[in-house]
Structure 1
Amino acid sequence: MASRAVVVGPHQLQREEGKQKKVAAEGKNRQVLQDISNLVVTAPAAQGKIHAKLPAPLEKNKKPVVEVINGGLMAGKSGAAKKAVAAVKEKNAVSGRKSREGASRKNARAFTSILSARSKAACGLTIVEYLDEIYQFYKLTEDENRVHEYMALQPEINPKMRSILVDWLIEVHHKFELMPETLYLTINLIDRFLSVKVVPRRELQLVGISSMLLASKYEEIWAPEVNDFVCISDNAYGKEKVLVMEKAILGKLGWCLTVPTTYVFLVRYIKASSAPSDDELMENMVYFLAELGLMDYSATILYCPSMMAASAVYVARCTLDRTPFWTETLKHHTGYSEDELMDCAKLLHTFHSAAAESKLKAVYNKFCSPEHGAVALLSPPGSNLSAK
């Protein structure tokens, strides 16, 4: 899946063809993402309710099936993806569940957001009374579940593999139309698990889909099912393996899923930054930069979630030429001065500058779409930031 630690074998689709037809009859609607490559990430055109923009497909008969062989990558040819697409079309044709979910998902919110709102209503209190204390608590506890350098403990995994995995998961997240909370929690679970457990290269993709399954159960109203993740990974792992890995992750992390991720701080800092008329463009730019930060191992290790969020807001303001780039209001709510953010901000600026040419395109393609304001097409801040 992502770390090229994955063998996504087309022959597995042939063996499971009968099973897929049965699943189609049950009304499933998830679509198979094909292979993940550190050269290109491709997927067939979205079907049904899923209209995610994906990288352009490779030429006919040149869809690579990537295998990890002694740390290297070998590209082969396969037509099995066509069978996967056909199976998906059958599923969509009989999917009554899809139409029911589609209407509900449009206005869906994550459980964390809903429970917060209901708690306020039940107590007859406004959240404003507690916001400062809540975020002070988040700042105090963010280091408790933050990971530090762990690649030295992983003999078969490296930062590039992690980036490939995250790139693929961002694409899966977008295709499943999941909440942003789910994505940030997924990456948090992956990093925390890898920091305490040695994982073979062939199981890195399994860790990814199991972490997203857990995060979905925690945050989503309409969580994907286990079989959806089995299908999206081209049957690289069976349902039983996913469930076993899910249990292993929970055990190693002590069932601790309530953590302050970067997203928790982004929500607060965006509001502190933007006037109501600016919200949509500013939000999209900040989320674009933050997701670029999620992709990079060094950024995740070096900077805590609150600093990553504050730096994303700062670089977004520079990119959109919102002056002053850092205000007293933002300094108060984030707890960071402009100088304290500069190193992290320059790193995010570097990611933005390189995004168009990067071989990992999930974030860039996602934020090139009009749905996200096409903010990825905007020029990096240039002199606004590099002169600092």
Structure 2
Amino acid sequence: MPFPRGRKPTAAAGSKIPKLNATASENQEEATQAKRSSSPPRGAPKKRTAFIDITNAHKVQISFPGKKKEPGKKTAKKTSSTSVSASNRANLKKSSSVSSEGTISERERTDTEEEEKEGDTSADVAAPVEEQAAATSPAAREVPAHLRRQEIPKEFDIDSENSEDCYMCPEYAKDIFDYLKNREEKFVLCNYMPTQPSLNSEMRAILIDWLVEVQENFELYHETLYLAVKMTDHYLAKTPVHREMLQLVGSTAMLIASKFECVSASMDTLTLARYYCEMSLMEMDLVPERGSLVASACLLMALVTKDLGGWSPILQFHSGYQASDLAPVVRKIYSMLSAPPDDKLRAIKNKYSHKVFFEVASLPLVSIDILEKALSS
């Protein structure tokens, strides 16, 4: 029969109700909780059974199509909870106050003390902020002298006309040149040919003559050729190479070589300087010289040949070389160019005798007197 409401059922006399063991009930409850926690939420991806659930699948909120969120619902709930807590705090403060006139309750006194402490703390926090602001003032942020960028005088500023061209990087041009010039000190070469048992200078010249043809046929940058020769020399200075592998070394260097550029001059003058540079690649005596020094010497010779003046103060400022620094290298290049050419090695001559290169190879060599005058001025 049904039990009356509000009463607990009583066991009949003589009936035995099996009493569950406490441990068994706890184990059953733990198993139920474990089963409930291990079951993934609906719509969540299945997890691997060999591992615990380390994903955030149980926190994923599934949005069904067609069901829109109610705007402002969450904010209203948060605002209401905040207002309730604020009213509870106000009621607690009122209940703790004493009704006597002119008497301050213990609670109010405590609140006042806490506010004073907070004021002291904020003052302590504000002090380091003010100190930090003072430290970041323009006077404190002054860059040390050795880290300041060198200011370029207006008469030497040749990059400001490219200020709108982001590819030219005019604001970093001087820094780039100075950096590359400092890097040269780590890559100074020497005459490595005595350490090569099966090579000689003539074999190297034949290789470079062939690399010039490769550069011309594939229409590579001239700077790629210069760098390829420089990389070949650096490799030969470290590793003995058999003569049968020399062409492979040069081809590999040409493949991985990259491009470098610079100078404000007309194209025919630059082409003449490049002609001198490529001719200098053949000379073993110029291998130990720095690349920037050889390039500057070739440019000086091109300017004198074209009657465009000597080594101007602008070129001296940007290159870092004076005319006296270039004089020994200029004399070596001039001696090389004035020597009778080898008919077997004519790739450079033939290349720069073309109209594309303004036929600069056919230009007469400037006299040594004019060149010495330019070097001494």
CA shift in 2, pair 1:359/1:139, >3 Å? same
Q: Return the offset for 1:377.
A: 0.6
Question: Which residue among 296, 304, 315 is the counterpart of 1:330?
Answer: 315
Amino acid at match of 2:279: L
Amino acid at match of 1:306: S
Contact 1:355 1:361 in 2 (8 A): no
Question: Which residue among 213, 220, 228 is the counterpart of 1:186?
Answer: 228
Q: Secondary structure at the match of 2:371?
A: helix
Matches within 5 A, 1:1-388: 127-215=169-257, 264=260, 267-268=261-262, 270-271=263-264, 274=265, 279-301=266-288, 303-323=289-309, 325-354=310-339, 356=341, 358-382=343-367, 383-385=369-371
Q: Which has the larger radius of gyration?
A: 2
Q: What are the superposed Cα offsets for residues 188-220 of structure 1, whole Å, 9 maximum, x if unpaired?
A: 2211111111101121112112222222xx56x
Q: Secondary structure at the match of 1:359?
A: coil
Amino acid at match of 1:128: P
What residue in structure 2 maps to residue 31 of structure 1?
none
What residue in structure 1 maps to residue 97 of structure 2?
none
What residue in structure 2 maps to residue 68 of structure 1?
none
Amino acid at match of 2:268: L
Amino acid at match of 1:308: V
What is the rounded CA distance, in whole Å, between the counterparts of 1:280 and 1:163 in structure 2? 27
CA shift in 2, pair 1:357/1:385, >3 Å? farther
What is the rounded CA distance, in whole Å, between the counterparts of 2:358 and 2:299 in structure 1? 16
TM-score, L = length of structure 2: 0.52
Contact 1:290 1:312 in 2 (8 A): yes
Q: Secondary structure at the match of 2:345?
A: coil
Contact 1:189 1:211 in 2 (8 A): yes
CA shift in 2, pair 1:363/1:320, >3 Å? same
What is the rounded CA distance, in whole Å, between the counterparts of 1:355 and 1:288 in structure 2? 16
What is the rounded CA distance, in whole Å, between the counterparts of 1:138 and 1:319 in structure 2? 28
What is the rounded CA distance, in whole Å, between the counterparts of 1:165 and 1:182 in structure 2? 15
Amino acid at match of 2:320: G
Contact 2:229 2:281 in 1 (8 A): yes
What is the rounded CA distance, in whole Å, between the counterparts of 1:315 and 1:343 in structure 2? 12
What is the rounded CA distance, in whole Å, between the counterparts of 2:214 and 2:240 in structure 1? 24
What is the rounded CA distance, in whole Å, between the counterparts of 1:355 and 1:320 in structure 2? 22
Contact 1:151 1:159 in 2 (8 A): yes
What is the rounded CA distance, in whole Å, between the counterparts of 1:125 and 1:318 in structure 2? 31
Report the RMSD for the aligned CA atoms in angstroms: 2.3
Contact 1:151 1:157 in 2 (8 A): yes
Q: Return the offset for 1:181.
A: 2.8
Contiguous gaps of at least 5 residues in structure 2: 1-162
Among the aligned pairs, what percent are the same residue?
A: 30
What is the rounded CA distance, in whole Å, between the counterparts of 1:291 and 1:189 in structure 2? 15
Q: What are the superposed Cα offsets for residues 46-66 of structure 1, whole Å, 9 maximum, x if unpaired?
A: xxxxxxxxxxxxxxxxxxxxx
What residue in structure 2 maps to residue 34 of structure 1?
none
Q: Secondary structure at the match of 1:321?
A: coil
Contact 2:191 2:287 in 1 (8 A): no
What is the rounded CA distance, in whole Å, between the counterparts of 1:373 and 1:356 in structure 2? 20
Following superposition, which runs of at least 4 residues in structure 1 exceed 3 angstroms of deviation?
354-359
Contact 1:311 1:344 in 2 (8 A): yes
TM-score, L = length of structure 1: 0.51
Amino acid at match of 1:384: I
Q: Return the offset for 1:147.
A: 2.1
Contact 1:356 1:364 in 2 (8 A): no
Contact 1:349 1:381 in 2 (8 A): no
Contact 1:165 1:208 in 2 (8 A): yes
What residue in structure 2 maps to residue 248 of structure 1?
none
Q: Return the offset for 1:121.
A: 9.1
Q: Return the offset for 1:143.
A: 2.4
Contiguous gaps of at least 5 residues in structure 1: 1-119, 220-263
What is the rounded CA distance, in whole Å, between the counterparts of 1:368 and 1:125 in structure 2? 32
